[in-house]
Amino acid sequence: MSAARFKPHGPLGMGGAPLGNLFTAIPDDLATGAIVAAWDAGVRHFDTAPHYGAGLSEHRIGAALRHHKRGDYTLSTKVGRLLEPAAEVPEIADNFQHGLSFTRKLDYSYDGAMRSIEDSLQRLGLPSIDIVYIHDCGEDWLGAAWREQFDVAMAGAARALTKLREEGVIKAWGFGVNVVEPCILALERSDPDIFLVAGRYTLLDHTALKELLPKCEARGARAVIGGPYNSGILAGGTTFNYEAAPPDLVARAKAIGAVCARYGVDLKAAALQFVVAHPAVVAAIPGPRTAQEVTQNAAAMAQKIPLDVWAELKAEKLLPAEAPTPTE
């Protein structure tokens, strides 16, 4: 185990998938404006990936952050997909619109990870990356044979990232996934520092609470929670995991929102502050598209929430009794 775990900036970060034109194309000036607004609001934790717009998100985040002192913020990106130049690419690829002229090639090998980091540094235009996650190495993306690719990643990318951490090239590594199983297996087989888990620890989804987060605590590893609004249902929308939310989750979200409303609390504030109350969680990183959304997220994280809100949510069995909640 590492002598000292890297602690990233928090508790509020910025997820970079929307800046890669996830579902909706964003003009460059609006994307830059969102990043600038995040910095002005005190956000110092930025996450991106080659996958996001085939490099577009990395370009945009790097261009905005290179004006700031490198040690003043946490930057993470990912390995697992190499970008290959392509003369023609589809208008929409993996739900990203109008990405850059590259195709994605799955590669969890040692050499692939090393090349991916070098490529990311070029796209970012920055001298270093703090955290590197092994991206989407789970059943949701890879299907029933995901364990085969996981074994490749552990023998390849994980070994490369461990070497880079030991050499001080990066500060931490882990898995960036939408499911908890790869993270649990990685803790059993290696020494990861941190996990980016999207949507699996929220007001509505407590998947990570039973096993992953306690194991992180026991090992001294940390967690960053992406998708704290479950893609929209906890922010006034109607989607859960980017699909129409099923009726039972719609009803549950409305019930949670009703409790919050009785106390004058924004549902988004409860969603963000619940996530970071867990001792293993160091940051929540919603993915804003605009400066206005950034400002709303910052206000939500800062809103004072009466302790009675959490007590009532547990009393109505809308939150697990064992779930940590804010104490101030």
User: Per-residue pLDDT tens for 239-263?
Assistant: 999 999 999 999 999 999 999 999 9
Q: Where are the alpha helices (DSSP H) in the chain?
A: 28-40, 56-65, 110-124, 139-142, 146-155, 157-166, 181-189, 207-210, 212-219, 247-262, 267-276, 291-302, 307-315
pLDDT at position 1, please? Answer: 43
pLDDT at position 3, please? Answer: 47
Mean pLDDT of 126-150: 97
Mean pLDDT of 20-35: 97
CB 176 within 8 A of CB 132: no
pLDDT at position 4, please? Answer: 75
Q: Is 274 left (phi over 0), alpha (psi -120 to 50) or beta?
A: alpha
Q: SS3 of 156, please?
A: coil
CB 294 within 8 A of CB 241: no
Within a 13 Å sphere around the CA of 323, how many CA atoms are in the beta-carbon half? 26
pLDDT at position 152, please? Answer: 98
Residue 177 pLDDT class (50, 70, 90 cuts): very high
pLDDT at position 265, please? Answer: 98
Residue 127 pLDDT class (50, 70, 90 cuts): very high
- Give per-residue pLDDT as tens, 269-323: 999 999 999 999 999 999 999 999 999 999 999 999 999 999 999 999 999 999 9
pLDDT at position 84, please? Answer: 97
- Give per-residue pLDDT as tens, 230-241: 999 999 899 999
Cβ burial of 84 (10 Å; 0-12, 13-18, 19+) is exposed
Q: Residues with catalytic annotation?
A: 47, 52, 78
CB 293 within 8 A of CB 34: yes
CB count in 10 Å sphere of residue 103:
16
Mean pLDDT of 187-213: 98
Closest by alpha carbon to 59, among 71, 43, 77, 41?
77
CB 68 within 8 A of CB 39: yes
Q: Report the percentage of the chain scoring pLDDT > 90.
A: 97
Distance from C-alpha of 13 to C-alpha of 267, rounded to nearest angstrom: 18
Q: SS3 of 1, please?
A: coil
| Residue ranges of domains in the chain, CATH in brackets | 14-226+281-286 (3.20.20.100)
